[in-house]
Amino acid sequence: MEILNASLVNWSRAQFAMTAAYHWLFVPLTLGLGVMMAIMETNYVRTGDEKWRKTAKFWQTIFGINFAIGVATGIILEFQFGTNWSNYSWFVGDIFGAPLAIEAIVAFFLEATFISIMFFGWNRVSKKAHLTATWLTILGATLSAYWILVANAWMQYPVGMNFNPDTVRNEMTDFWAVALSPVAVNKFFHAVLSGWGLGASFVVGVGSWYLLKKRHVDFALKSIKMGAAFGFISFILLAVTGDGSAYQVAQKQPMKLASMEGLYKGKTGAGMVAFGILNPNKQAYNDSIDPYYFKIELPKLLSLLGYRDINAFVPGINDIVDGGYTLPDGEKALSFDEKKERGQLAIQALANYRKAKQEGRDADAAEYKNTLQENYAYFGYGYLKTGQDSIPHVPLTFYSFHLMVIIGFYFILMFAIVWYFGHKKKMESAKWLQYIALWSIPLAYLAGQLGWIVAEVGRQPWTIQDVLPVQAAVSGLSTGNVITTFILFATLFTLLLVAEVTILVKQIKKGPEI
Amino acid sequence: MDTKLTQPAKKFNWFSLFWEGVTHMSILGKTLWIVVIIKLMVMFGILKPFFFPDFLNSKCQNDKDKAAYVIEQLIDRTNHTP
């Protein structure tokens, strides 16, 4: 039996987090810039204005650089499923495999087919055919994102499956429950819109750089005006889908919501923290230390967001661990200890089932299988020792969430101002705003990363919510192996990032052919 | 009588699209293709075979063995979790 230690688990988690974070540097710009260049090309086809064609071609070149550098970085994540998370892969393979396979097929057939026409076909196919290819390329990329997010959403809210103790796999019983999970649908819109927002900030920022350099002024103003409108709408819709995310998280992952808000003691009519500083001295959920140094709360907002009722009870971390509060369906919430007991029953039933099957005791096996299925919903709790083990890293989740929201509202304001200045033809002379727009580009990237930190750190200790914690999911490799591959990946991705930034900057400095 | 000369429309051809596209690629295009090819070679030629073998395939012969291995892991991890 391999020796499992905290170091192995944490390095494995760190490696996946690092590779996912790098991957998410490339994807949002593909999604956002892709739509924007398609809109610009649509303008060209509608108006026949050559300036729109050259504008679209420039942003398409930028799109191409980002796409080429970023392509296949997601495959690194799949490598890790098979090597570092083998128990997880086997356990969920029947569920996870389907959306990933669809993603690969959609990506291959749509993107790969039409991207070639998009890049090679400017003077070889008609305007409308080329435009169709452009839209189909970005549609392919967006649909790819959908299927990846279906897979991730299932980790947050596992549905549509039945655990088979003979194969030790979760088997899909309802494809549509998985594919159209409300968590998946909301996550898709939220993630894609974050890409649109990032794309818009990139276009506006780069356009502002051209204005600062007093180069390609007409091109820059066109791009900025479009980018500002697109960005403003995207970030408004992000706030709407963010509201949807909060609702889903409250229903399906109440511990994540409590961590996002640093809420230890539940409240009726709970307010949402607009700004706050957590007390780093609070180490355990059940100590008497005040979790906050300071906070500004918007009254009743958390209850409204989470339960669509300003007077709803929002459970805190302590309530979720201690149990006993009333759930939205009227049932009493189980305590951590009760869930742990059921989890241990389920795991023991699995062990007994295996033994009974090996010994040919079919009647006993049927009984154990029944016990397993009755308690399967809490399977993962059987691996945890104390209530503290069921709580994510509160400060990281809290600060990531709040900083992401602050950046989101910042961009709504920034794009509104840029849109206004563009509309009033004042953008060219507003140097201060050009600097703000340019230096806002990294903030859009930061917001995207923070969102994923909330999603994934907030889900800890689970790889599959309530069913499989990280310590049961990880492969029994040597920690040294994982540290080696961590360093290899960090090196590879850093080189790719340096290549991307170098090539992008060079191309931006070269400018459009206008 | 129609005296206007018209060129016959050039039929779309996937091969010529790719061939002309690839042979007339800009320096940037070629650079990006080199980056993509090197990246894929490193990922699939070095990382995957040497650093990311399938863990269960290395331990087990078939699906039945894999199921037995995983179930043993799942049961034993309750006693050996960090």
**Every domain of chain A and the residues it spans:** 259-322, 336-387
Cα–Cα dist B44/B28, whole Å? 24
Residues 6+ apart with CB under 8 A from B18: A116, A120
Q: Are residues B58 and B82 in the same domain?
A: yes
The CA distance from B36 to the nearest CA of chain A, in Å, is 6
Share of chain A above pLDDT 70, in %: 99
SS3 call for A18: helix
The CA distance from B62 to the nearest CA of chain A, in Å, is 12
Query: Is there a contact between A471 and B43 if contact means CB atoms under 8 Å apart?
Result: no
- Nearest chain B residue to A126 by CA distance is B12
For residue B3, the model assigns a pLDDT of 43
Contacts of A124 in chain B (CB under 8 A): 12, 16-17, 20
- Are A390 and A399 spatial neighbours (Cβ–Cβ below 8 Å)? no
Q: Is the pLDDT of residue A273 over 80?
A: yes
- Are A356 and A364 spatial neighbours (Cβ–Cβ below 8 Å)? yes
pLDDT class for A479, splitting at 50, 70, 90? very high
Query: Is there a contact between A91 and B21 if contact means CB atoms under 8 Å apart?
Result: no
> Quick one: tokens of A425?
């033809």
Residues A362-419 pLDDT 10s: 999 999 999 999 999 999 999 999 999 999 999 999 999 999 999 999 999 999 999 9
CB-CB: which of B43, B55, B66 is closest to A72? B43
Query: Is there a contact between B17 and A488 if contact means CB atoms under 8 Å apart?
Result: no
Q: Compute, in degrees rounded to 10, the torsion defined by CA atoms A124, A128, A132, A135.
A: 110
Query: Is there a contact between B67 and A169 if contact means CB atoms under 8 Å apart?
Result: yes
Cα–Cα dist A302/A468, whole Å? 28
In degrees and rounded to multiples of 5, residue A326 shows phi and psi of -90, 130
Contacts of B52 in chain A (CB under 8 A): 79-80, 82-83, 485
Q: Are residues B81 and B65 in the same domain?
A: yes
Q: What is the mean pLDDT of residues A79-106?
A: 91
Q: Is A416 left (phi over 0), alpha (psi -120 to 50) or beta?
A: alpha
pLDDT class for A12, splitting at 50, 70, 90? very high
Q: Are residues B58 and B46 in the same domain?
A: no
Would an 8 Å CB–CB cutoff place B34 in contact with chain A?
Answer: no
Cα–Cα dist A227/A415, whole Å? 8
Residue B23 lies in a domain: yes
Q: Are residues B62 and B82 in the same domain?
A: yes
Q: Is A139 exposed, middle or buried (0-12, 13-18, 19+ CB in 10 A)?
A: middle
Residues A29-43 pLDDT 10s: 999 999 999 999 999
Query: Is there a contact between A347 and B75 if contact means CB atoms under 8 Å apart?
Result: yes
Find the helix or strand (DSSP H, E) in which A95 lies: helix A86-106
pLDDT class for A106, splitting at 50, 70, 90? confident
- Nearest chain B residue to A166 by CA distance is B67
- Are A514 and A54 spatial neighbours (Cβ–Cβ below 8 Å)? yes
Query: Is there a contact between B78 and A344 if contact means CB atoms under 8 Å apart?
Result: yes
> Quick one: tokens of B52?
């990311």
- Are A298 and A272 spatial neighbours (Cβ–Cβ below 8 Å)? yes
Query: Is there a contact between A385 and B81 if contact means CB atoms under 8 Å apart?
Result: yes
The CA distance from A168 to the nearest CA of chain B, in Å, is 6
- Are A410 and A441 spatial neighbours (Cβ–Cβ below 8 Å)? no
Residues A220-265 pLDDT 10s: 999 999 999 999 999 999 999 999 999 999 999 999 999 999 999 9
The CA distance from B4 to the nearest CA of chain A, in Å, is 22
Would an 8 Å CB–CB cutoff place B30 in contact with chain A?
Answer: no
Residues A186-216 pLDDT 10s: 999 999 999 999 999 999 999 999 999 999 9
DSSP designation for A326:
B
Q: Is the pLDDT of residue A452 over 60?
A: yes
- Nearest chain A residue to B74 by CA distance is A472
Highest mean pLDDT range out of A96-105, A410-419, A475-484?
A410-419
Q: Are residues B45 and B73 in the same domain?
A: no
The CA distance from B7 to the nearest CA of chain A, in Å, is 15
Contacts of A69 in chain B (CB under 8 A): 32, 35
Query: Is there a contact between A86 and B54 if contact means CB atoms under 8 Å apart?
Result: yes
Average pLDDT value over all residues in chain A: 95
Q: Which domain holds residue B33?
A: 13-51
- Are A380 and A467 spatial neighbours (Cβ–Cβ below 8 Å)? yes
Query: Is there a contact between A120 and B21 if contact means CB atoms under 8 Å apart?
Result: yes
Q: Are residues B42 and B63 in the same domain?
A: no
> Quick one: tokens of A378?
């809490």
Q: What is the mean pLDDT of residues A441-460?
A: 98
Contacts of A380 in chain B (CB under 8 A): none
Cα–Cα dist A305/A275, whole Å? 17
Cα–Cα dist A210/A7, whole Å? 48
- Are A490 and A18 spatial neighbours (Cβ–Cβ below 8 Å)? yes
Contacts of A385 in chain B (CB under 8 A): 81
- Are A441 and A201 spatial neighbours (Cβ–Cβ below 8 Å)? yes
Q: Is the pLDDT of residue A105 over 70?
A: yes
Q: Are residues B43 and B18 in the same domain?
A: yes
DSSP designation for A465:
T
Residue B5 lies in a domain: no
Q: How many CB pairs under 8 A join A and B?
A: 131
Q: Are residues B18 and B44 in the same domain?
A: yes
Q: Is the pLDDT of residue A354 over 70?
A: yes
Residues of chain B with pLDDT under 50: 1-8
Contacts of B47 in chain A (CB under 8 A): 76, 79, 485, 488, 492
Q: State the distance between the two ends of chain A, measured CA to CA, in whole angstroms.
A: 66
> Quick one: tokens of A81?
């499923």
Q: Is A419 exposed, middle or buried (0-12, 13-18, 19+ CB in 10 A)?
A: buried
The CA distance from B5 to the nearest CA of chain A, in Å, is 21
Q: Are residues B47 and B68 in the same domain?
A: no
Cα–Cα dist A118/A131, whole Å? 8
Tell me the C-alpha to C-alpha distance, in Å, between residue A438 and each of A208, A222, A432. Answer: 6, 16, 10
Query: Is there a contact between A472 and B82 if contact means CB atoms under 8 Å apart?
Result: no
Query: Is there a contact between B67 and A167 if contact means CB atoms under 8 Å apart?
Result: yes
The CA distance from A135 to the nearest CA of chain B, in Å, is 19
Would an 8 Å CB–CB cutoff place B45 in contact with chain A?
Answer: no
Q: What is the mean pLDDT of residues A88-94?
A: 92
Beta-bridged to residue A162, according to DSSP, are A171
A292-298 vs A169-172, strand pairing mode = unpaired
Residues A43-58 pLDDT 10s: 999 999 999 999 999 9
Cα–Cα dist A206/A220, whole Å? 8
Q: State the distance between the two ends of chain B, measured CA to CA, in whole angstroms.
A: 91
Specify the number of domains making up chain B. 2
